[in-house]
Amino acid sequence: MEQELSNLLKDCIAGKKKAQETLYRQYSSFLFGVCLSYSKNKAEAEDIFQDGFVRIYQNLKQFKGDGSFEGWMRRIMVNTALERFRKSNPLYLVEDYYSYDGDIDPEDAVSRISADDLLNLIQELSPMYRVVFNLYALEGMSHKEIAEKLSISEGTSKSNLSRARAILQKKVKALFTVPISHSNG
């Protein structure tokens, strides 16, 4: 762990407000982005962010320098989001596999869609689809890990991911579909 970060963390643990403000300023944008991807809107992301940052401050002593500090904080934010999700959303099984056979070119869509548009589309997913999609696509978890974390079956994780992808593909296609107007004259 680099010396500057080490000193900053020691000062934060010692309760020095200036160090805590510095830590907050350095990482708040990155961590708020993580919260946004797990929330349905900005207000919910703000709640997750606040709870998560409190946990980061409370657990700074636990960080031993193994791995990246950003990764450690990201894990705390994701876990905070998952706890909020489990408390506010009863788990329900979605076992249907939905296949989408649209004709949008994925590379074309990626080059044309903004990060904000994509985030908005992800936030529009149902809570379970959004969480499974994020854990798989953003956190790189396997279906087995997702199933364990959410207390669902691997099949449910797979079907939720499949459905989330299909919905996102449909929404992305809708963004790029121009309605045909017919004029009389």
Q: Are 94 and 133 in contact (CB under 8 A)?
A: no
- Asked whether 161 and 136 are in contact (CB, 8 A), the reply is yes
- Is the separation of the CB atoms in 98 and 163 below 8 Å? yes
∠ CA 44-169-154 to the nearest 5 degrees?
Answer: 70
* pTM, 2 dp: 0.65
What is the rounded CA–CA span in Å between residue 172 and residue 98?
A: 16
Are 102 and 109 spatial neighbours (Cβ–Cβ below 8 Å)? Answer: no
Distance CA 118, CA 138 (A): 13
User: What domains can you pick out in the chain, each with its CATH number?
Assistant: 3-88 (1.10.1740.10), 106-176 (1.10.10.10)
Pairwise CA distance, residues 168 & 104, whole Å: 12
Residue 14 is which amino acid? A
CB atoms within 10 A of CB 120: 13
pLDDT 10s digit of each residue in the chain, 185 long? Answer: 588 999 999 999 999 999 999 999 999 999 999 999 888 899 999 999 999 999 999 999 999 888 899 999 999 999 999 888 877 765 554 444 444 444 545 455 555 677 788 888 888 898 889 999 999 988 899 999 999 988 899 999 999 999 999 998 888 888 777 565 555 55
